[in-house]
């Protein structure tokens, strides 16, 4: 089965990001295909390599980057949401790229299921 993931919440103060990451790992471990992970609204903060989480907390940007490096998952940050929140090419973590909402629509078309995390 083919999955696409939409992440709408930032990495701090919400369970959505951790749940999305765990779901992505489970999809891949289960032998399914992960077409794309699209970061929208506050979800774009997950791509900021300059974020420094408090001691003892996981760096979600690094965790997503590792997932992309290991499995070649396409991590796409919405350009409009990123620009509004200061997430730009210059501060993207490895494995992320910036593009438009068309990439989210395409992922939904290519996937059998689009799973959304966050409001």
The tally of domains found in the chain comes to 1
Do residues 7 and 40 make contact, with C-beta atoms less than 8 angstroms apart?
Answer: yes
Range of the domain at 42: 2-117
State percent of the chain over pLDDT 90: 87
Which of 68, 78, 81, 107 is labelled catalytic? 78
Q: What is the reported pLDDT for 13?
A: 79
**Measured distance CA(50)–CA(112) in Å, rounded:** 34
Do residues 17 and 60 make contact, with C-beta atoms less than 8 angstroms apart?
Answer: yes
Q: What is the reported pLDDT for 52?
A: 80
Q: What is the reported pLDDT for 113?
A: 98
Q: Is 58 one of the catalytic residues?
A: no
Give pLDDT tens digits for 19-69: 999 999 999 999 999 999 999 999 999 999 998 877 777 789 999 999 999
Strands 96-99 and 113-117: what pairing? unpaired
Q: Residue 70, exposed/middle/buried by CB under 10 A (0-12, 13-18, 19+)?
A: exposed
State percent of the chain over pLDDT 70: 100
Q: What is the reported pLDDT for 12?
A: 84
Which CATH number fits the domain that encloses residue 46? 3.40.1260.10
């Amino acid at each position: 089965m083919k999955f696409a993931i939409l992440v709408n919440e930032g990495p701090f103060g919400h369970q959505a990001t951790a749940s999305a990451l765990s779901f992505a790992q489970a999809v891949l471990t289960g032998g399914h295909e992960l077409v794309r992970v699209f970061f929208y609204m506050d979800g774009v903060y997950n791509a900021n390599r300059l974020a420094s989480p408090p001691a003892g907390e996981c760096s979600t940007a690094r965790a997503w980057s590792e997932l992309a490096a290991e499995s070649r998952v396409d991590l796409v940050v919405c350009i409009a949401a990123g620009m509004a929140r200061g997430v730009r090419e210059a501060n993207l973590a490895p494995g992320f790229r910036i593009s438009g909402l068309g990439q989210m629509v395409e992922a939904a078309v290519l996937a059998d299921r689009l799973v959304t995390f966050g409001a």
